[in-house]
Structure 1
């Protein structure tokens, strides 16, 4: 049976991650309190942030910005709009 966690993003019990996806204490916090679906939602949002803001994961300033946005997205419920993003027309 998959590991269950109370997901702080989805506010419900859900399947937990298989490993800590981030180093350090923040990684432990994510592993303990974020589900797989919430993590996938963050990865999609992160991709938009990287693309629309032309960020480089190699740049320490950009990584710090992404980490700050990740905490807000996953734990504080602040997804925010991605500047420049226009949803595709149906």
Structure 2
């Protein structure tokens, strides 16, 4: 178990760094698998709604910045008009 900075609670860790380099190690050591799944869902919405291409270096840089803000605190982009489903 790790203390997840995103969820502010003890949670199950990921089994490997999800991205290469120093950022990947920071995520591995401070972000839970549950929080990473939340990011993956948010990232998918950003890619779809903003028509991003992962082949474009600017799109990848944008997503990396949004990932850091989403996971570690910051004013990250929201998808306009999105209303989460009620449980």
Give me the TM-score of the superposition, normalised by structure 1.
0.86
Q: Give SS of 1:6's match.
A: strand
Q: Give SS of 1:25's match.
A: helix
Give me the TM-score of the superposition, normalised by structure 2.
0.89
- Cα RMSD between the aligned structures? 1.8
Distance 1:40 1:88, change over 3 A: closer
Would you say the 8 A contact 2:66–2:77 is kept in 1? no
Would you say the 8 A contact 1:9–1:77 is kept in 2? no
Matched positions, count: 86
Q: Which runs of 5+ in 1 are unaligned?
A: none
Deviation for aligned residue 1:36: 0.7
Deviant stretches of 4+, over 6 Å: none
Residue 52 (structure 2) pairs with residue 55 (structure 1)? yes
Q: Which runs of 5+ in 2 are unaligned?
A: none
